Amino acid sequence: MTVASPSVWSRLAGLGIPLLTLPRLVLAYTFISMGIHKIDNPVAFLKLLRLYELLPEEPAVYMNSIAVVMPWLEVVFGVALLFRAPTRAAAVALLAMLTVFFGAIFLRALNIYAEGTTPFTEIVFDCGCGGGPQVIYQKLLKNTGLMALALVAILSRPRPLWVRTGE
């Protein structure tokens, strides 16, 4: 009687790494660190928010409130995702935020591109995500990746995916 060689899945399971936990951890870490960075310097985030020209400057309470509350939304949703409390709701919230961020960054990049002085792939600015000035098309690709991670977290079952070999 021959024994089949272990599959890739069973080898990964043997490492003890739950496959669907990694997206959750990466997403949680990203948002918690981004949120803390913004909480640390609310004025810098407020100035960056203003550059998007999506919110009116008057009454000032709208933009100021977003600058104050959004970073904490990132941290709280990130922590909730980290501790699965609750996973799906936190992942849905982060996916929604990522969608808004993607749209805002893309629109701003489009406006710069429309000025005709910079190719889209060379547009660089500080998107307010905590990493300083970034090449925007790469940032959009990263955001797309994070959105995919959020989808995985939303659709995954509560238990991690294991594949065990028979003994």
Partner 1 sequence: MSKIVLKTLGQLAGLAAVATGIALTFNAARSKGLTLTRNYFDTGGSAIRTTGGRLGDRPDAAGGHDPSEASDPALLAVDRRAAEPGAADDVAQDVSAEQPSDDGVYQVGDHGFYELTLTQAVRLFEDPATQTQGYLFIDARDDDAFDSGHIPGALQIDHYYLEQYLPDVLPAAFSAQMVIVYCNGDKCEDSILVCNDLLDEGVEGDNLLLFKGGWKEWTANDMPVETGSGL
Tokens at residue 162, please?
């294991």
CA distance 130 to 31: 10
- x/- track of binding to partner 1 for residues 28-47 (CB under 8 A): -----------x--xx--x-
Give, in order, the Cα–Cα distances in Å from 142 to each of 21, 30, 50, 132.
Answer: 19, 11, 23, 15
- x/- track of binding to partner 1 for residues 57-96 (CB under 8 A): xxxxx--xx-xxx-xxx-xxx--x-----x-xxx-xx---
Task: Provide the minimum distance between the beta carbon of 140 and partner 1 in the complex, in angstroms, as a whole number.
Answer: 24
Q: Which is nearer to partner 1, 45 or 136 (CB)?
A: 45
> Is residue 6 within the footprint of partner 1 (CB under 8 A)?
no
- What is the largest distance, in Å, between two alpha-carbon atoms of the chain? 78
Of 5, 34, 12, the closest CA to residue 132 belongs to 34
Residue listed under structure tokens 């991690």? 160
Task: Provide the minimum distance between the beta carbon of 139 and partner 1 in the complex, in angstroms, as a whole number.
Answer: 21
Q: Which residues of the chain form contacts with partner 1 (CB under 8 A)?
A: 39, 42-43, 46, 50, 57-61, 64-65, 67-69, 71-73, 75-77, 80, 86, 88-90, 92-93
